[in-house]
Structure 1
Amino acid sequence: MTQKPRVLICGSINMDLVIRTQSLPAPGQTSMARSMQQVSGGKGANQAVAAARLGADVCMLGCVGSDGFAATLRDNLARETINTQWIRHVPGPSGVAIVAVDDAGENSIVVVSGANGQMHPAWIDESIEAIAWADWVVLQLEIPIETVKHVIALARHAGKQIVLNPAPVPLRFDAELFHVDLLCPNQSEAEAILGITITNIDDARSAAIALRQRGANRVVITLGDQGAIMSDSTNDAAIWIPPIAVDVVDTTAAGDAFIGAMVTKLASGDSLHEAA
Protein backbone atom coordinates (compact mmCIF):
# COMPACT_ATOMS: atom_id res chain seq x y z
CA MET A 1 0.00 0.00 0.00
CA THR A 2 1.41 3.38 -1.03
CA GLN A 3 2.07 5.73 1.88
CA LYS A 4 0.19 9.00 1.79
CA PRO A 5 2.38 12.10 1.40
CA ARG A 6 3.09 13.64 4.81
CA VAL A 7 2.41 17.37 4.84
CA LEU A 8 2.94 19.67 7.83
CA ILE A 9 1.10 22.98 7.62
CA CYS A 10 2.60 25.54 9.98
CA GLY A 11 0.44 28.63 10.06
CA SER A 12 -2.69 30.52 10.93
CA ILE A 13 -6.02 29.25 12.19
CA ASN A 14 -8.86 31.79 12.08
CA MET A 15 -12.58 32.05 12.42
CA ASP A 16 -13.80 33.80 9.28
CA LEU A 17 -16.82 36.07 9.59
CA VAL A 18 -18.05 36.06 5.99
CA ILE A 19 -20.32 38.91 4.91
CA ARG A 20 -22.24 38.73 1.61
CA THR A 21 -22.99 42.05 -0.06
CA GLN A 22 -23.91 43.32 -3.53
CA SER A 23 -20.73 45.37 -3.86
CA LEU A 24 -17.67 46.00 -1.71
CA PRO A 25 -17.80 49.42 -0.02
CA ALA A 26 -15.41 52.16 -1.13
CA PRO A 27 -13.46 54.03 1.58
CA GLY A 28 -15.94 56.01 3.68
CA GLN A 29 -18.93 54.18 2.22
CA THR A 30 -21.44 52.05 4.15
CA SER A 31 -22.94 48.97 2.48
CA MET A 32 -25.76 46.73 3.68
CA ALA A 33 -25.02 43.01 3.77
CA ARG A 34 -27.46 40.23 2.94
CA SER A 35 -26.00 37.67 5.32
CA MET A 36 -23.15 36.72 7.62
CA GLN A 37 -21.80 33.28 8.50
CA GLN A 38 -18.96 31.87 10.58
CA VAL A 39 -16.55 29.64 8.67
CA SER A 40 -13.29 28.09 9.85
CA GLY A 41 -10.37 29.66 7.99
CA GLY A 42 -6.89 31.09 8.16
CA LYS A 43 -4.38 30.55 5.36
CA GLY A 44 -2.72 27.68 7.19
CA ALA A 45 -5.95 25.89 8.06
CA ASN A 46 -7.38 26.40 4.56
CA GLN A 47 -4.29 24.88 2.96
CA ALA A 48 -4.40 21.99 5.42
CA VAL A 49 -8.02 21.20 4.55
CA ALA A 50 -7.31 21.31 0.81
CA ALA A 51 -4.37 18.93 1.15
CA ALA A 52 -6.30 16.54 3.40
CA ARG A 53 -9.30 16.41 1.07
CA LEU A 54 -6.99 15.46 -1.79
CA GLY A 55 -5.50 12.54 0.11
CA ALA A 56 -2.46 13.85 1.96
CA ASP A 57 -1.67 12.87 5.54
CA VAL A 58 -1.80 16.33 7.12
CA CYS A 59 -0.64 17.67 10.48
CA MET A 60 -1.50 21.23 11.57
CA LEU A 61 0.93 23.24 13.69
CA GLY A 62 -0.69 26.41 15.03
CA CYS A 63 -2.41 28.27 17.86
CA VAL A 64 -5.98 28.98 18.90
CA GLY A 65 -7.16 31.11 21.80
CA SER A 66 -9.16 30.54 24.96
CA ASP A 67 -12.43 31.88 23.53
CA GLY A 68 -15.58 30.28 22.18
CA PHE A 69 -14.08 29.85 18.70
CA ALA A 70 -11.11 27.73 19.81
CA ALA A 71 -12.78 24.34 20.25
CA THR A 72 -14.82 24.77 17.07
CA LEU A 73 -11.72 25.59 15.03
CA ARG A 74 -9.83 22.57 16.33
CA ASP A 75 -12.79 20.21 15.99
CA ASN A 76 -13.45 21.31 12.41
CA LEU A 77 -9.87 20.49 11.44
CA ALA A 78 -10.09 17.11 13.16
CA ARG A 79 -13.25 16.35 11.17
CA GLU A 80 -11.18 16.81 8.02
CA THR A 81 -8.87 13.97 9.25
CA ILE A 82 -6.13 16.51 10.07
CA ASN A 83 -3.83 15.69 12.99
CA THR A 84 -4.46 18.43 15.57
CA GLN A 85 -2.13 17.28 18.36
CA TRP A 86 0.27 20.18 17.67
CA ILE A 87 -2.38 22.90 17.92
CA ARG A 88 -1.76 24.87 21.10
CA HIS A 89 -4.39 26.74 23.15
CA VAL A 90 -3.10 30.10 24.40
CA PRO A 91 -4.73 32.84 26.53
CA GLY A 92 -6.78 35.43 24.67
CA PRO A 93 -8.84 35.47 21.48
CA SER A 94 -8.41 33.19 18.48
CA GLY A 95 -7.54 34.70 15.13
CA VAL A 96 -10.45 36.29 13.28
CA ALA A 97 -10.86 37.40 9.66
CA ILE A 98 -13.60 39.72 8.44
CA VAL A 99 -14.32 38.67 4.84
CA ALA A 100 -16.64 40.74 2.63
CA VAL A 101 -17.70 39.01 -0.61
CA ASP A 102 -19.56 40.75 -3.43
CA ASP A 103 -21.88 39.36 -6.11
CA ALA A 104 -18.99 38.98 -8.56
CA GLY A 105 -17.18 36.70 -6.12
CA GLU A 106 -14.47 39.24 -5.30
CA ASN A 107 -13.52 39.80 -1.69
CA SER A 108 -11.91 42.17 0.79
CA ILE A 109 -10.34 40.74 3.96
CA VAL A 110 -9.15 42.20 7.27
CA VAL A 111 -7.39 39.84 9.70
CA VAL A 112 -6.95 40.11 13.48
CA SER A 113 -4.02 37.82 14.38
CA GLY A 114 -5.18 36.90 17.87
CA ALA A 115 -3.62 33.61 19.00
CA ASN A 116 -1.65 33.31 15.75
CA GLY A 117 0.58 36.13 16.96
CA GLN A 118 1.59 34.03 19.98
CA MET A 119 3.17 31.29 17.87
CA HIS A 120 6.77 31.88 18.97
CA PRO A 121 10.04 30.17 17.91
CA ALA A 122 10.50 28.56 21.33
CA TRP A 123 7.29 26.62 20.87
CA ILE A 124 8.52 25.35 17.50
CA ASP A 125 11.50 23.82 19.29
CA GLU A 126 9.04 21.98 21.52
CA SER A 127 7.20 20.75 18.40
CA ILE A 128 10.24 19.46 16.51
CA GLU A 129 8.66 15.99 16.25
CA ALA A 130 6.07 17.41 13.87
CA ILE A 131 8.80 18.65 11.51
CA ALA A 132 10.65 15.33 11.78
CA TRP A 133 7.44 13.48 10.81
CA ALA A 134 6.75 15.49 7.66
CA ASP A 135 8.00 15.14 4.10
CA TRP A 136 6.78 18.62 3.14
CA VAL A 137 6.52 21.73 5.33
CA VAL A 138 4.18 24.52 4.21
CA LEU A 139 4.22 28.05 5.68
CA GLN A 140 2.52 31.42 5.24
CA LEU A 141 3.12 34.81 6.88
CA GLU A 142 0.06 35.19 9.13
CA ILE A 143 2.23 34.06 12.06
CA PRO A 144 5.31 35.92 13.39
CA ILE A 145 8.09 36.26 10.79
CA GLU A 146 10.77 35.11 13.24
CA THR A 147 8.81 31.89 13.75
CA VAL A 148 8.57 31.32 10.00
CA LYS A 149 12.32 31.83 9.60
CA HIS A 150 12.96 29.43 12.49
CA VAL A 151 10.79 26.73 10.93
CA ILE A 152 12.54 27.20 7.58
CA ALA A 153 15.94 26.76 9.24
CA LEU A 154 14.87 23.63 11.14
CA ALA A 155 13.16 22.09 8.12
CA ARG A 156 16.18 22.78 5.88
CA HIS A 157 18.47 21.14 8.44
CA ALA A 158 16.15 18.12 8.51
CA GLY A 159 16.12 17.85 4.71
CA LYS A 160 12.43 18.61 4.26
CA GLN A 161 10.78 20.15 1.22
CA ILE A 162 9.69 23.68 2.18
CA VAL A 163 6.91 25.71 0.58
CA LEU A 164 6.32 29.37 1.47
CA ASN A 165 3.18 31.27 0.55
CA PRO A 166 4.43 34.82 1.31
CA ALA A 167 1.11 36.28 2.38
CA PRO A 168 0.70 38.87 3.66
CA VAL A 169 3.98 40.38 2.48
CA PRO A 170 5.88 42.11 5.31
CA LEU A 171 7.39 45.58 4.90
CA ARG A 172 10.83 43.96 4.87
CA PHE A 173 11.16 40.62 3.10
CA ASP A 174 14.21 39.08 4.79
CA ALA A 175 16.69 37.02 2.76
CA GLU A 176 16.00 33.92 4.88
CA LEU A 177 12.48 33.77 3.48
CA PHE A 178 13.88 32.96 0.04
CA HIS A 179 15.62 29.82 1.35
CA VAL A 180 12.77 27.53 0.37
CA ASP A 181 12.16 24.83 -2.22
CA LEU A 182 9.05 26.54 -3.58
CA LEU A 183 7.96 30.16 -3.23
CA CYS A 184 4.33 30.73 -4.24
CA PRO A 185 3.11 34.35 -4.19
CA ASN A 186 0.17 35.78 -6.08
CA GLN A 187 0.65 38.70 -8.45
CA SER A 188 0.31 41.49 -5.88
CA GLU A 189 2.61 39.67 -3.45
CA ALA A 190 5.28 39.22 -6.13
CA GLU A 191 4.99 42.93 -6.93
CA ALA A 192 5.40 43.87 -3.26
CA ILE A 193 8.42 41.60 -2.74
CA LEU A 194 10.24 42.88 -5.84
CA GLY A 195 9.00 46.48 -5.82
CA ILE A 196 7.70 46.25 -9.39
CA THR A 197 4.41 46.35 -11.30
CA ILE A 198 3.26 43.31 -13.26
CA THR A 199 1.05 44.32 -16.17
CA ASN A 200 1.28 41.30 -18.47
CA ILE A 201 2.47 37.70 -18.77
CA ASP A 202 5.99 38.72 -19.79
CA ASP A 203 6.28 40.87 -16.65
CA ALA A 204 5.16 37.88 -14.58
CA ARG A 205 7.77 35.66 -16.26
CA SER A 206 10.48 38.17 -15.41
CA ALA A 207 9.23 38.36 -11.81
CA ALA A 208 9.36 34.58 -11.39
CA ILE A 209 12.94 34.49 -12.65
CA ALA A 210 13.88 37.40 -10.36
CA LEU A 211 12.46 35.58 -7.33
CA ARG A 212 14.51 32.50 -8.18
CA GLN A 213 17.59 34.67 -8.49
CA ARG A 214 16.94 35.89 -4.95
CA GLY A 215 17.32 32.31 -3.67
CA ALA A 216 14.08 30.36 -4.09
CA ASN A 217 14.67 26.99 -5.77
CA ARG A 218 11.34 27.05 -7.61
CA VAL A 219 8.68 29.73 -8.03
CA VAL A 220 4.99 29.72 -8.93
CA ILE A 221 3.21 33.08 -9.26
CA THR A 222 -0.57 32.78 -9.36
CA LEU A 223 -2.34 35.30 -11.59
CA GLY A 224 -6.01 34.81 -10.75
CA ASP A 225 -8.07 34.31 -13.89
CA GLN A 226 -4.90 34.63 -15.99
CA GLY A 227 -3.48 31.31 -14.75
CA ALA A 228 0.01 31.01 -13.26
CA ILE A 229 3.71 31.34 -14.05
CA MET A 230 6.25 28.71 -12.98
CA SER A 231 10.04 28.73 -12.98
CA ASP A 232 12.38 25.98 -11.85
CA SER A 233 15.90 24.68 -12.42
CA THR A 234 14.88 22.62 -15.46
CA ASN A 235 14.37 25.76 -17.53
CA ASP A 236 16.07 29.15 -17.40
CA ALA A 237 12.86 30.72 -18.67
CA ALA A 238 9.48 30.89 -16.93
CA ILE A 239 6.48 29.00 -18.25
CA TRP A 240 2.92 30.31 -18.42
CA ILE A 241 0.26 27.85 -17.25
CA PRO A 242 -3.10 28.89 -18.73
CA PRO A 243 -6.20 28.98 -16.51
CA ILE A 244 -8.98 26.42 -16.47
CA ALA A 245 -12.37 27.97 -17.26
CA VAL A 246 -14.76 27.87 -14.29
CA ASP A 247 -17.89 29.69 -13.13
CA VAL A 248 -16.68 31.95 -10.30
CA VAL A 249 -18.79 31.77 -7.15
CA ASP A 250 -16.38 33.07 -4.49
CA THR A 251 -12.63 33.67 -4.75
CA THR A 252 -12.13 33.53 -0.96
CA ALA A 253 -9.35 31.03 -0.15
CA ALA A 254 -8.88 30.12 -3.83
CA GLY A 255 -5.15 30.69 -3.45
CA ASP A 256 -5.06 28.51 -0.33
CA ALA A 257 -6.90 25.71 -2.12
CA PHE A 258 -4.43 25.99 -5.00
CA ILE A 259 -1.43 25.68 -2.68
CA GLY A 260 -2.89 22.74 -0.75
CA ALA A 261 -3.65 20.94 -4.01
CA MET A 262 -0.29 21.75 -5.60
CA VAL A 263 1.70 20.56 -2.59
CA THR A 264 -0.27 17.32 -2.43
CA LYS A 265 0.44 16.63 -6.11
CA LEU A 266 4.12 17.49 -5.71
CA ALA A 267 4.39 15.27 -2.65
CA SER A 268 2.77 12.47 -4.65
CA GLY A 269 5.48 12.67 -7.31
CA ASP A 270 4.09 15.05 -9.93
CA SER A 271 6.34 17.61 -11.62
CA LEU A 272 5.87 21.28 -10.81
CA HIS A 273 4.27 21.86 -14.21
CA GLU A 274 1.81 19.00 -13.62
CA ALA A 275 1.04 20.10 -10.06
CA ALA A 276 0.49 23.78 -10.87
Structure 2
Amino acid sequence: MKKIVVLGSLNMDMVMTTERLPMIGETICSDQIHYMVGGKGSNQAVAVSRMGISTSLLGCVGNDAFGERIQKHLSRETLDISSLNIIEDTPTGIATVFKTKNNNAIVVNSGANDCCDRRIVEENIEIIKQADVLLAQLEIPIETVEYALQKAKEFGVTTILNPAPYKEIPIGLIEYVDYITPNDTEFESMMSGELGSSGDLETDMLEWSKQNSVKLIVTRSSQGSSYVENGQVTTIPCINVDVVDTTGAGDTFNGILAYAIAEKMELRDAVRIAGIGASLSIRALGAQSGMPSIKELKKYL
Protein backbone atom coordinates (compact mmCIF):
# COMPACT_ATOMS: atom_id res chain seq x y z
CA MET A 1 0.00 0.00 0.00
CA LYS A 2 1.22 3.50 -0.85
CA LYS A 3 2.33 5.61 2.12
CA ILE A 4 2.55 9.36 2.58
CA VAL A 5 4.25 11.27 5.40
CA VAL A 6 3.23 14.84 6.16
CA LEU A 7 5.64 16.92 8.23
CA GLY A 8 4.23 20.18 9.51
CA SER A 9 2.27 22.34 11.88
CA LEU A 10 -0.75 21.72 14.07
CA ASN A 11 -2.86 24.64 15.29
CA MET A 12 -6.12 25.38 16.96
CA ASP A 13 -7.95 27.78 14.64
CA MET A 14 -10.15 30.44 16.22
CA VAL A 15 -12.40 31.49 13.35
CA MET A 16 -14.25 34.80 13.77
CA THR A 17 -16.78 35.71 11.10
CA THR A 18 -17.21 39.40 10.29
CA GLU A 19 -18.87 41.50 7.62
CA ARG A 20 -15.50 43.03 6.78
CA LEU A 21 -11.96 43.23 8.11
CA PRO A 22 -11.19 46.00 10.61
CA MET A 23 -9.14 49.06 9.68
CA ILE A 24 -5.95 49.77 11.60
CA GLY A 25 -6.94 51.05 15.06
CA GLU A 26 -10.59 50.05 14.59
CA THR A 27 -12.64 47.65 16.73
CA ILE A 28 -15.51 45.75 15.11
CA CYS A 29 -17.80 43.00 16.34
CA SER A 30 -17.67 39.38 15.22
CA ASP A 31 -20.90 37.56 14.34
CA GLN A 32 -19.66 34.13 15.46
CA ILE A 33 -16.57 32.33 16.72
CA HIS A 34 -15.65 28.72 16.01
CA TYR A 35 -12.79 26.63 17.37
CA MET A 36 -11.45 24.27 14.71
CA VAL A 37 -8.38 22.10 14.26
CA GLY A 38 -5.97 23.50 11.70
CA GLY A 39 -2.33 24.11 10.89
CA LYS A 40 -0.98 23.36 7.43
CA GLY A 41 0.52 20.03 8.46
CA SER A 42 -2.67 18.86 10.12
CA ASN A 43 -4.85 20.10 7.27
CA GLN A 44 -2.78 18.51 4.54
CA ALA A 45 -2.54 15.21 6.43
CA VAL A 46 -6.33 15.06 6.79
CA ALA A 47 -6.77 15.85 3.08
CA VAL A 48 -4.39 13.01 2.18
CA SER A 49 -5.92 10.49 4.58
CA ARG A 50 -9.42 11.07 3.21
CA MET A 51 -8.14 9.76 -0.11
CA GLY A 52 -7.93 6.32 1.52
CA ILE A 53 -4.13 6.17 1.48
CA SER A 54 -1.88 5.36 4.45
CA THR A 55 -0.90 8.68 6.02
CA SER A 56 1.39 9.60 8.92
CA LEU A 57 1.60 13.07 10.49
CA LEU A 58 4.80 14.30 12.15
CA GLY A 59 4.69 17.45 14.27
CA CYS A 60 4.31 18.94 17.74
CA VAL A 61 1.51 20.12 20.03
CA GLY A 62 1.63 21.54 23.53
CA ASN A 63 0.66 19.70 26.69
CA ASP A 64 -2.52 21.78 27.07
CA ALA A 65 -6.24 21.67 26.40
CA PHE A 66 -5.88 22.66 22.75
CA GLY A 67 -3.24 19.98 22.21
CA GLU A 68 -5.55 17.34 23.69
CA ARG A 69 -8.44 18.59 21.58
CA ILE A 70 -6.37 18.39 18.40
CA GLN A 71 -5.25 14.83 19.14
CA LYS A 72 -8.80 13.74 19.91
CA HIS A 73 -10.08 15.31 16.70
CA LEU A 74 -7.39 13.78 14.49
CA SER A 75 -7.84 10.34 16.05
CA ARG A 76 -11.26 10.21 14.33
CA GLU A 77 -9.56 10.38 10.92
CA THR A 78 -7.87 7.38 9.27
CA LEU A 79 -4.58 9.04 10.10
CA ASP A 80 -1.55 7.82 12.05
CA ILE A 81 -0.72 10.42 14.74
CA SER A 82 1.24 8.07 16.99
CA SER A 83 4.47 9.98 16.26
CA LEU A 84 3.21 13.41 17.34
CA ASN A 85 5.40 15.00 20.00
CA ILE A 86 3.80 16.50 23.11
CA ILE A 87 5.88 19.47 24.26
CA GLU A 88 5.83 20.32 27.97
CA ASP A 89 5.45 23.92 29.17
CA THR A 90 4.76 25.18 25.63
CA PRO A 91 1.37 26.20 24.24
CA THR A 92 -0.14 24.57 21.17
CA GLY A 93 0.00 26.70 18.04
CA ILE A 94 -2.94 29.04 17.54
CA ALA A 95 -4.27 30.67 14.36
CA THR A 96 -6.77 33.51 14.59
CA VAL A 97 -8.81 33.59 11.38
CA PHE A 98 -10.85 36.66 10.46
CA LYS A 99 -13.39 35.45 7.92
CA THR A 100 -15.52 37.63 5.65
CA LYS A 101 -18.01 36.37 3.07
CA ASN A 102 -15.46 35.74 0.33
CA ASN A 103 -12.06 36.00 1.96
CA ASN A 104 -10.04 35.64 5.13
CA ALA A 105 -7.01 37.00 6.98
CA ILE A 106 -4.99 34.90 9.41
CA VAL A 107 -2.60 35.62 12.29
CA VAL A 108 -0.58 32.66 13.60
CA ASN A 109 1.27 32.10 16.87
CA SER A 110 3.55 29.12 16.31
CA GLY A 111 3.73 27.81 19.88
CA ALA A 112 4.84 24.16 19.94
CA ASN A 113 5.37 24.17 16.18
CA ASP A 114 8.67 25.98 16.77
CA CYS A 115 9.83 22.90 18.71
CA CYS A 116 9.57 20.71 15.61
CA ASP A 117 13.32 20.28 15.15
CA ARG A 118 15.71 17.78 13.59
CA ARG A 119 15.12 15.43 16.51
CA ILE A 120 11.55 14.89 15.28
CA VAL A 121 12.92 13.80 11.91
CA GLU A 122 15.58 11.57 13.40
CA GLU A 123 13.12 9.83 15.72
CA ASN A 124 10.87 9.05 12.74
CA ILE A 125 13.47 8.33 10.11
CA GLU A 126 12.13 4.82 9.45
CA ILE A 127 8.64 6.20 8.79
CA ILE A 128 10.07 8.66 6.26
CA LYS A 129 12.26 5.97 4.70
CA GLN A 130 9.24 3.75 4.02
CA ALA A 131 7.13 6.52 2.48
CA ASP A 132 6.34 7.02 -1.19
CA VAL A 133 5.89 10.78 -0.74
CA LEU A 134 7.00 13.34 1.88
CA LEU A 135 4.93 16.53 1.97
CA ALA A 136 6.14 19.56 3.94
CA GLN A 137 5.32 23.25 4.39
CA LEU A 138 7.00 26.23 6.09
CA GLU A 139 4.94 26.66 9.28
CA ILE A 140 7.68 24.85 11.23
CA PRO A 141 11.41 25.76 11.35
CA ILE A 142 12.80 25.76 7.83
CA GLU A 143 15.96 23.99 9.03
CA THR A 144 13.80 21.00 9.99
CA VAL A 145 12.07 21.02 6.62
CA GLU A 146 15.39 21.07 4.76
CA TYR A 147 16.78 18.21 6.85
CA ALA A 148 13.67 16.08 6.33
CA LEU A 149 13.66 16.71 2.57
CA GLN A 150 17.36 15.84 2.38
CA LYS A 151 16.88 12.55 4.23
CA ALA A 152 13.84 11.70 2.10
CA LYS A 153 15.83 12.22 -1.11
CA GLU A 154 18.58 9.97 0.22
CA PHE A 155 15.96 7.23 0.59
CA GLY A 156 14.48 7.81 -2.88
CA VAL A 157 11.24 9.29 -1.49
CA THR A 158 9.37 11.77 -3.72
CA THR A 159 9.23 15.19 -2.06
CA ILE A 160 6.69 18.01 -2.25
CA LEU A 161 7.29 21.46 -0.73
CA ASN A 162 4.39 23.82 -0.22
CA PRO A 163 6.31 27.08 0.47
CA ALA A 164 3.66 28.54 2.75
CA PRO A 165 3.65 30.76 4.65
CA TYR A 166 6.40 32.07 2.43
CA LYS A 167 9.93 32.33 3.80
CA GLU A 168 13.11 32.85 1.83
CA ILE A 169 14.13 29.38 0.67
CA PRO A 170 17.79 28.47 1.29
CA ILE A 171 19.71 27.84 -1.93
CA GLY A 172 20.58 24.28 -0.99
CA LEU A 173 17.06 23.26 0.00
CA ILE A 174 15.58 23.34 -3.47
CA GLU A 175 17.79 20.48 -4.69
CA TYR A 176 15.90 18.13 -2.35
CA VAL A 177 12.48 19.05 -3.78
CA ASP A 178 10.69 17.23 -6.61
CA TYR A 179 7.52 19.35 -6.69
CA ILE A 180 7.02 22.90 -5.39
CA THR A 181 3.50 24.33 -4.98
CA PRO A 182 3.34 28.06 -4.22
CA ASN A 183 0.21 30.10 -4.71
CA ASP A 184 0.51 33.07 -7.03
CA THR A 185 1.48 35.49 -4.24
CA GLU A 186 4.12 33.12 -2.88
CA PHE A 187 5.48 32.60 -6.37
CA GLU A 188 5.87 36.37 -6.79
CA SER A 189 7.99 36.35 -3.63
CA MET A 190 10.08 33.48 -5.01
CA MET A 191 10.69 35.41 -8.22
CA SER A 192 11.62 38.72 -6.63
CA GLY A 193 14.17 36.90 -4.50
CA GLU A 194 15.82 35.09 -7.41
CA LEU A 195 15.04 36.31 -10.89
CA GLY A 196 12.93 39.44 -10.73
CA SER A 197 9.47 39.54 -12.27
CA SER A 198 8.30 40.17 -15.82
CA GLY A 199 4.78 40.97 -14.65
CA ASP A 200 3.45 37.95 -16.51
CA LEU A 201 2.86 34.80 -14.50
CA GLU A 202 3.40 32.29 -17.29
CA THR A 203 6.60 33.97 -18.47
CA ASP A 204 7.93 33.95 -14.93
CA MET A 205 6.97 30.31 -14.42
CA LEU A 206 8.87 29.30 -17.56
CA GLU A 207 11.88 31.37 -16.58
CA TRP A 208 11.97 29.90 -13.06
CA SER A 209 11.63 26.38 -14.41
CA LYS A 210 14.57 26.89 -16.76
CA GLN A 211 16.74 27.62 -13.75
CA ASN A 212 15.44 24.76 -11.58
CA SER A 213 14.75 21.07 -12.15
CA VAL A 214 11.80 21.11 -9.73
CA LYS A 215 8.32 20.63 -11.14
CA LEU A 216 6.49 23.92 -10.54
CA ILE A 217 2.76 24.10 -9.81
CA VAL A 218 1.18 27.47 -8.96
CA THR A 219 -2.29 27.63 -7.42
CA ARG A 220 -4.22 30.71 -8.53
CA SER A 221 -7.40 30.83 -6.46
CA SER A 222 -10.46 31.29 -8.69
CA GLN A 223 -8.30 31.09 -11.83
CA GLY A 224 -7.36 27.47 -11.19
CA SER A 225 -3.84 26.01 -11.17
CA SER A 226 -0.94 26.27 -13.59
CA TYR A 227 2.02 23.96 -14.03
CA VAL A 228 5.10 23.70 -16.23
CA GLU A 229 5.77 20.56 -18.23
CA ASN A 230 7.88 20.06 -21.37
CA GLY A 231 8.64 23.78 -21.58
CA GLN A 232 4.98 24.83 -21.58
CA VAL A 233 2.59 26.28 -19.03
CA THR A 234 -0.78 24.57 -18.73
CA THR A 235 -3.64 25.98 -16.68
CA ILE A 236 -6.42 23.81 -15.30
CA PRO A 237 -9.48 25.95 -14.46
CA CYS A 238 -11.28 25.42 -11.18
CA ILE A 239 -14.90 24.31 -10.93
CA ASN A 240 -17.72 26.60 -9.85
CA VAL A 241 -19.06 26.07 -6.33
CA ASP A 242 -20.89 28.11 -3.70
CA VAL A 243 -18.12 29.60 -1.58
CA VAL A 244 -18.52 29.39 2.20
CA ASP A 245 -14.92 29.48 3.45
CA THR A 246 -11.69 29.44 1.45
CA THR A 247 -9.55 28.54 4.49
CA GLY A 248 -7.72 25.30 3.81
CA ALA A 249 -8.30 25.19 0.05
CA GLY A 250 -4.59 25.28 -0.64
CA ASP A 251 -3.96 22.58 1.95
CA THR A 252 -6.61 20.39 0.35
CA PHE A 253 -4.94 20.89 -3.02
CA ASN A 254 -1.54 19.86 -1.67
CA GLY A 255 -2.88 16.84 0.19
CA ILE A 256 -4.74 15.46 -2.80
CA LEU A 257 -1.80 16.28 -5.08
CA ALA A 258 0.45 14.17 -2.83
CA TYR A 259 -2.03 11.31 -3.08
CA ALA A 260 -2.16 11.59 -6.87
CA ILE A 261 1.62 11.67 -7.18
CA ALA A 262 1.95 8.64 -4.90
CA GLU A 263 -0.50 6.87 -7.21
CA LYS A 264 1.71 7.74 -10.21
CA MET A 265 -0.92 9.85 -11.99
CA GLU A 266 0.11 12.00 -14.92
CA LEU A 267 0.82 15.56 -13.80
CA ARG A 268 -2.19 16.99 -15.64
CA ASP A 269 -4.52 14.51 -13.95
CA ALA A 270 -2.89 15.09 -10.57
CA VAL A 271 -3.32 18.87 -10.81
CA ARG A 272 -6.88 18.49 -12.08
CA ILE A 273 -8.04 16.17 -9.29
CA ALA A 274 -6.29 18.31 -6.66
CA GLY A 275 -7.99 21.42 -7.99
CA ILE A 276 -11.41 19.80 -7.93
CA GLY A 277 -10.84 18.67 -4.36
CA ALA A 278 -9.78 22.17 -3.34
CA SER A 279 -12.93 23.64 -4.89
CA LEU A 280 -15.15 21.13 -3.12
CA SER A 281 -13.48 21.95 0.19
CA ILE A 282 -14.58 25.60 0.26
CA ARG A 283 -18.28 24.72 0.50
CA ALA A 284 -18.10 24.39 4.32
CA LEU A 285 -16.78 26.49 7.21
CA GLY A 286 -13.34 25.54 8.49
CA ALA A 287 -10.15 24.28 6.92
CA GLN A 288 -10.98 20.57 7.31
CA SER A 289 -14.79 20.46 7.42
CA GLY A 290 -15.28 20.53 3.66
CA MET A 291 -12.34 18.37 2.61
CA PRO A 292 -13.77 15.63 0.38
CA SER A 293 -13.39 11.90 0.87
CA ILE A 294 -12.16 9.79 -2.03
CA LYS A 295 -15.74 8.60 -2.45
CA GLU A 296 -17.03 12.17 -2.78
CA LEU A 297 -14.25 13.09 -5.19
CA LYS A 298 -14.86 10.07 -7.40
CA LYS A 299 -18.60 10.78 -7.35
CA TYR A 300 -17.95 14.27 -8.66
CA LEU A 301 -15.52 13.02 -11.29
Q: Per the shorter chain, which TM-score range?
A: over 0.9
CA gap of 1:153–1:39, structure 2 versus 1, over 3 A, is same
Q: CA deviation at 1:133?
A: 2.2
Q: Which residue of 2 aligns with 1:268?
A: 263
Q: Which residue of 2 aligns with 1:177?
A: 173
CA contact (8 A) 1:187 1:198 kept: no
- In structure 2, the residue corresponding to 1:33 is in which secondary structure? coil
- In structure 1, the residue corresponding to 2:232 is in which secondary structure? coil
Report sequence identity in percent: 36
- In the alignment, which of 178, 186, 204 is matched to residue 201 of structure 2? 204
1:151-170 paired onto structure 2 within 5 Å? 151-170=148-167
1:18 aligns with 2:5: no
- In the alignment, which of 101, 104, 111 is matched to residue 103 of structure 1? 101
Q: Which amino acid in the other structure matches residue 264 of structure 2?
A: G
CA distance in 2, matches of 1:257, 1:264: 11
For the aligned residue pairs, the C-alpha RMSD in angstroms reads 1.4
- In the alignment, which of 252, 259, 269 is matched to residue 257 of structure 1? 252
1:62-81 paired onto structure 2 within 5 Å? 62-81=59-78
CA gap of 1:237–1:249, structure 2 versus 1, over 3 A, is same
> Deviations for 1:183-234, whole angstroms, at most 9, x for unmatched residues?
00001100111115686xxx222232233334342110000001111013xx
CA gap of 1:216–1:31, structure 2 versus 1, over 3 A, is farther
Structure 1: tracts of 5 or more residues without a match = none
> Deviations for 1:62-95, whole angstroms, at most 9, x for unmatched residues?
0001111111111212211110111000121011
Q: Which residue of 2 aligns with 1:189?
A: 186
Structure 2: tracts of 5 or more residues without a match = 272-301
**TM superposition score normalised by structure 1:** 0.92
CA distance in 2, matches of 1:211, 1:259: 20
CA contact (8 A) 2:197 2:204 kept: no
Q: Which amino acid in the other structure matches residue 90 of structure 1?
A: I
CA contact (8 A) 2:114 2:140 kept: yes
CA distance in 2, matches of 1:23, 1:212: 38
CA distance in 2, matches of 1:31, 1:238: 43
CA gap of 1:221–1:213, structure 2 versus 1, over 3 A, is same
CA gap of 1:32–1:185, structure 2 versus 1, over 3 A, is same
CA distance in 2, matches of 1:11, 1:140: 6
CA distance in 2, matches of 1:63, 1:11: 8
CA distance in 1, matches of 2:114, 2:141: 6
CA contact (8 A) 2:59 2:120 kept: no
1:135 aligns with 2:132: yes
